[in-house]
Amino acid sequence: MKIGIIGNGKSANRYHLPFLLQRKDKIKVKTIVTNNLENRTWERIDEINYTDKIEELYNDPEIDLVVICLRPDLHYKYAKEVLEHGKNCLVEKPFVETLEEAQKLFRLAKEKGLIVQPFFNCDSGKNIHVGEDFLANYNVTILDIAEVRIGDYCMIGPNTLITTVGHPISPKGRRERKAQGMPVNIGNDVWIGGNCTILPGVMIGNNVVIAVGAVVTKDVPDNSVVGGVPAKVIKQIENDL
């Protein structure tokens, strides 16, 4: 697969390129579009073509996928252009600014038989099920060896980990790479703050707030605020719906 990147800032150089360059047997980063060729904040990579002419990327028939690493207010404009030029598109988070813009991009991609999606970290994705009006902020990671079910109107803050996989305590078992998957279930109207960890087998009820930095090791009841390491119920809250 040959890839082009629009944008040459921190997102491209710190998050995407290190991953992509480790997989040269399957992926080639061919072109990076930047609006300032004189900017040398980030070290140039000899094998990549750097250009300020976006048409070079759009008109290159070898490029299968374009990664957009720009300011959020530019995501919709360039994602639309990428799809219109017949290329698949991966967009840095936040995806776009409105639900309407997201729906337009998904419709356009479907019409053209292409894929458009936000950048996201997971094991496989097939075991993740989310409800209506779901928001995941920067660097959310879901390790879905087992099922992860997330209800309606849920928000997850940046750098949060939801994991379904555990390993043996014994060194023999760890050396054998043994693992056990246990599902995670999250109810409706749940707000998980940034830098939280949700461990395997946890069930989180409806109308729950999980404070920043919490490590959730046990089930959480409805209508509650939890926090701490390990997380404990801090107080009960009213469901005003």
Residues annotated as part of the active site: 167
In this structure, the number of other CB atoms found within 10 A of the CB of residue 229 comes to 11
In this structure, the number of other CB atoms found within 10 A of the CB of residue 181 comes to 17
Token pair recorded at residue 104 = 């337009």
Token pair recorded at residue 137 = 């902020």
CA distances from 196 to 146, 147, 212 (A): 19, 19, 6
Token pair recorded at residue 241 = 């719906």
Contact call for residues 2 and 63 (beta carbons, < 8 A): yes
Q: State the Cα–Cα distance between residues 218 and 94, nearest whole angstrom.
A: 30
Q: State the Cα–Cα distance between residues 200 and 58, nearest whole angstrom.
A: 43
The gap between the terminal CA atoms of the chain, to the nearest Å, is 48
